[in-house]
Structure 1
Amino acid sequence: MSPIKIGFVGLSTTGCASTVLAPSLTHPDLKGEYDIVAVSTTSEASAQKSADKYSADVGHAIKAYHGDTSKIASDPDVDLVAVAKDFFLEWPAGASLEETRAIAEAAHKQGVRTIIGLQGRHSAALRKIKEILASGAIGAVKSTNVLAHVGREFPCWPPTVGEANQYVVEKKNGATRLSIPIAHQLDKLTYVLGNFASVTATDATFYPTGQVVDAKGKPTGKTIHSETPDHYIISGTLESGVLVNVFWRAGYSSEEGTGRRQFVWEIDGEEGTIRIESHKPTGAFTGLYEPDMYVNGQKVEVDRDDVIESVKTAWKQFATGEKGDYATIDDAVKNHELIDAIELSAREGRRVLL
């Protein structure tokens, strides 16, 4: 069987794609199943830099495209990149529910397979949680509680915004706190415990403006206005009857010594509790780090060292045609429906049924 030839849109030499996605695809265990043959970025310089880096990783020359993604999508040597073919799409998989639905409809019409970048559901911690729940060790789950924080040291959303991240403050671009870190976590929650039946939400904006900083964190003197909230209280009931309470806050200091809890997720069963937590400044981004885990108060060891190994499993399932545990474009639509329901509830002050 020939390897699936990938044209990777947005694969730069830094960022999430370079630290998790590319290493998982170029892992020796997937040699012969996937091969990166082309990359596409926004500029000629960044595309060539990316092509040079990954050519060294895969052992052959990689084509460099920039600008219009139709160029890489029409490359006859590329098997996986766009809706006309099987495709991978990083979450949020569209700037809005309407856009994601349009992508899903096109994918179904073409009869192609899809895989979405919701890598957190492949973590060792989540696999362990599913195993414990299936064993009945904590009894019937009745409720779950999440406390999370995105600190000001992470220069993506106000009060501190990196020069390259200024697009995130505009809601139309679909890169808000709700659509990225919060939705990533809600995907993991529903992956483990099931879908929401109803949701009630309250939001607040404590940081209406953001100070723009350069790549070294130095203030540029520019200030930009944020169009989206920075705090969310999300509660609801899952289809299983489980009661959910989620509180995300942002913008506070994450410096050591504040005592601030960055990420805690508890799952309460009648006979016990599962808790995962992280004290890392970006610990709420559980697709990047494995959290600590406790079952009935006792620490349980999980494989904390290789998030790439977890993501690699999803790629292997996709390559062999297995349904697997990876997210599809239909999961992306479901998540966007939940995002819209949260925004509607917060805007109108009412419970929204899904």
Structure 2
Amino acid sequence: MSSDATRRPLIGVGVVGLSATGGWGAGAHLPALSTVGGFELRGLVGSSPASARAASAVHGVPAYASAGALAEADDIDLVVVTVKTPQHRDLVLPALGAGKAVFCEWPFAVDLREAEDMAAAAQGIPTFVGLQGRSSPTFRWLADLVSNGFVGEVLSVTISTAATEWGTPVSERMLYTLDRQLGATMMAIAFGHAIDSVSMVVGELQDVVATTAIRHPHVPLIHGGRDVPMTAEDQIAISGTLPGGAVLSAHQRGGIASGAGFSMTVDGSDGTLQATAPNHPHVTPVTVRGARGHGRPTEMPLPDGYDQYPRLARSPIHTLAHAYGGIRDQLLGGAAVVPDFDDAVIRHQLLDAITRSAASGRRVHR
């Protein structure tokens, strides 16, 4: 870290959902915070008094009884919420009530109305949402390529994305992701992350027509020797119109036996861009190929200046580290570059429009 960075005031962080035994908070957020620098863990909230005591002993910071109590602490500047989606609203609102900046994981809310409630409560407070694909060096470069005319006028965007989850055996801990009413479905997680990154590159859909299906109505439980019901859609096909008239089509598939993957093709009047990833594009490396004119797309290396943490390029915390870099800089007076609660509402609006279109069989205008 540079001498200038070491002289910056440290941002006090409290993590809701930090465990002594692992999980996304300990396994991703803490390493990302450490990599970026400028943050200091100063408190936590556990899932129970016993787990809070254990986490406090492991991480060496005080455990608080609630998110509100954590946020009220004078040395906490940023509250990070890393628990299951159905609990977000009840944890985020007290932290906002204390006037503290809040980072909330994605999926942000169980539905659009809940997302709007949290965003309304956050007016005037710095907020951040875990749509870290927008902080990806590769997707930021892709957005610059499109905006700078690499493909000319965008004519169409074609997306194919697949997840092994939502159809293959599931653990007890992840059962809640099978329930459509709990907000942590394939549509919200796998498709939500992917379409958010794509939207940063080509713009927001102006309208959408959707078809969804549940092709795995029962899913095997990993331990237990029985099947459990799934009400979350495992097939999502959409099409719609982008600003300027380009057509976007996307198909998200779940429970894929042959493995996960992501691909995006942007066809334009003057060229083509292709982006592929071996899994969810917000946590795995993305390869870019491109061509001007009528040539065949060839691999294009990421230019200098985009990746601040190249040693993490193959790590699942690569994009999260870039997000925390943006959060740190914003809280210290820099520009806002990380998606916030209002951006989360925009993403939930699209998911809501997809749900309504699939239910009605009609095109929904946003």
Which residue identity lines up with residue 38 of structure 1 in the other structure?
A: G
Q: Which residue number corresponds to residue 344 of structure 2?
A: 332
Q: Which residue number corresponds to residue 103 of structure 1?
A: 118
| 3-state SS, counterpart of residue 17 of structure 1 | helix
| 1:185 Cα offset (Å) | 0.9
Q: For the residues of structure 1 that align with 2:224 and 2:348, how far apart are their CA atoms?
A: 34
- Aligned mate of 1:246, from 232, 243, 250: 250
TM-score (norm 2): 0.82
Q: Which residue number corresponds to residue 283 of structure 2?
A: 288
- Whether contact under 8 Å (1:148, 1:264) holds in the other structure is yes
Q: Which residue number corresponds to residue 24 of structure 1?
A: 32
| 1:45 Cα offset (Å) | 4.2
- Aligned mate of 1:165, from 174, 179, 182: 174
Which residue identity lines up with residue 225 of structure 1 in the other structure?
A: P
- Whether contact under 8 Å (1:167, 1:173) holds in the other structure is yes
| 3-state SS, counterpart of residue 63 of structure 2 | strand
- Aligned mate of 1:237, from 223, 237, 241: 241
Gaps of 5+ in 1: 56-60, 214-218, 256-260
Query: How many residue pairs end up in the alignment?
Result: 324
Alignment of 1:165-314 (within 5 A): 165-213=174-222, 219-254=223-258, 262-279=261-278, 283=279, 285-296=280-291, 297-302=297-302, 304-305=313-314, 307=318, 308-314=320-326
- Aligned mate of 2:18, from 2, 11, 17: 11
Which residue identity lines up with residue 72 of structure 2 in the other structure?
A: S
| 1:7 Cα offset (Å) | 1.0
The C-alpha deviation readout for 1:93-137, integer Å capped at 9, x for no partner, is 2211111111111111xx211111111111121122123223322
The C-alpha deviation readout for 1:55-76, integer Å capped at 9, x for no partner, is 3xxxxx312246x433323333
Q: For the residues of structure 2 that align with 1:234 and 1:20, how far apart are their CA atoms?
A: 32
Which residue identity lines up with residue 229 of structure 1 in the other structure?
A: E
Q: Which residue number corresponds to residue 108 of structure 2?
A: 93
| 3-state SS, counterpart of residue 181 of structure 1 | helix
- Whether contact under 8 Å (1:8, 1:40) holds in the other structure is yes
RMSD over aligned CA atoms reads: 2.0
- Whether contact under 8 Å (1:44, 1:65) holds in the other structure is no
Structure with the largest fraction of strand: 1
Q: Summarize the Cα distance change of 1:17–1:142 in structure 2 as closer, same or farther, 3 Å threshold.
A: farther
| 3-state SS, counterpart of residue 314 of structure 1 | helix
| 1:26 Cα offset (Å) | 1.6
The C-alpha deviation readout for 1:282-340, integer Å capped at 9, x for no partner, is x1x11111111111211112353461542343223322233332101000111111111
Q: Percent identity?
A: 29
| 1:49 Cα offset (Å) | 4.3
Gaps of 5+ in 2: 1-7, 80-94, 292-296, 303-309
